[in-house]
Amino acid sequence: MLKGKLVDPVIKALVNNNAIDRFEDNMMPFKRLMAYYKCAIMEVETKFKVLNQEFSLEYDRNPIETIKTRLKSTDSIVKKLAKRDLPLTVESIEKNLNDIAGVRVICSFPEDIYVLADCLLQQDDIKLIQVKDYIKNPKPNGYRSLHLIVEIPIFLKDTKKNMRVEVQLRTIAMDFWASLDHKLSYKKDIPEEEEELLRQELLECAQISADLDKRMEKIKNRIVNNKI
Ligand code: GTP
Ligand code: MG
């Protein structure tokens, strides 16, 4: 079985032998599964677009700033399965990985996140699998976002299939913070001491940005409530 330290050389060997390419090319079931995840992404994205449209009619503003979607790359799927000692099969992907299909919804205000999440979860074709509320309970590094794993049906030629999708809801400020944090995590050549200082500073920025989110929301609500 693959162990942590062996994972990277193993992946390298798989890449060098074109094993991943062959895995993709020779496996119709794999391609089919990926196509199903793409359909699930489209379904979830449409649901958020519809909600945004309805809100803009009712409240004269769009709660959603942007929606970003992504399908996990084959490379990342293989790495994740290998890291967790799981079989490299289509069944295993479907059973063990919840983040093949990803939808990120970026809102202006924190309240919008919960309103949108509730609206989505109320829909009778959506099944909630898991919630991680990193807004009420931010990660120790300062990361904030609301994560949902949901199951959504896609309707095929003669069957219906339930697919899992990871939905991340965050504000513009949370997204801005997360992209900088992501940059730091991927930078390998920063001296340890400097990295520690940067992490400390990022944590402070997370607090400042959370305060800013709250203040901006209060201002917005005062403006809205003063409307005649
Ligand atoms: P994986 O990280 O996908 O293995 O899943 P997990 O079980 O740790 O799930 P979690 O819900 O905590 O995180 C899933 C995703 O959220 C990640 O892939 C990132 O996109 C995002 N995320 C979680 N934590 C952080 C963080 O500290 N910084 C940043 N920038 N993104 C994060
Ligand atoms: Mg992930």
CATH of the domain at 129: 3.30.460.10
Ligand 2 centroid to residue 50 C-alpha, Å: 26
For ligand 1, atom 26: residue with the closest CA = 143
| H-only helix segments in the chain | 4-16, 19-25, 28-59, 74-83, 90-96, 110-122, 172-186, 192-225
Ligand 2 centroid to residue 99 C-alpha, Å: 5
Residue 190 lies in a domain: no
Percentage above 90 pLDDT, the chain: 79
Is residue 4 over pLDDT 50? Answer: no
Is residue 154 over pLDDT 90? Answer: yes
Domain around 147: 9-172
**What atom in ligand 1 is closest to the CA of residue 147?**
11
Ligand 2 centroid to residue 169 C-alpha, Å: 14
Residue 213 lies in a domain: no
Residue 23 lies in a domain: yes
Mutate to test the pocket of ligand 1, among 72, 76, 96, 99 (most ligand atoms within 8 A of CB): 99
Count CB-CB contacts under 10 A for residue 28.
9
In this prediction, residues 125-147 reach a mean pLDDT of 98
Place 228 in a pLDDT band, splitting at 50, 70 and 90: low
Residue 226 lies in a domain: no
pLDDT value at residue 3: 41
- Give the closest ligand to the alpha carbon of residue 73: 2
Which helix or strand (DSSP H or E) is residue 165 part of? strand 160-171
Residue 185 lies in a domain: no
Place 60 in a pLDDT band, splitting at 50, 70 and 90: confident
Residue ranges around ligand 1 (CB below 6 Å): 99, 132, 139, 141, 143, 147, 178, 181-182
Residues in the chain: 228
ipTM of the complex in this document: 0.97
Is residue 177 over pLDDT 70? Answer: yes
Place 9 in a pLDDT band, splitting at 50, 70 and 90: low
pLDDT value at residue 111: 96
Residue 215 lies in a domain: no
pLDDT value at residue 61: 87
- Give the closest ligand to the alpha carbon of residue 83: 1
pLDDT value at residue 130: 98
The pTM of this model reads: 0.89
For ligand 1, atom 29: residue with the closest CA = 178
Q: Is 135 exposed, middle or buried (0-12, 13-18, 19+ CB in 10 A)?
A: buried
For ligand 1, atom 2: residue with the closest CA = 99
pLDDT value at residue 115: 96
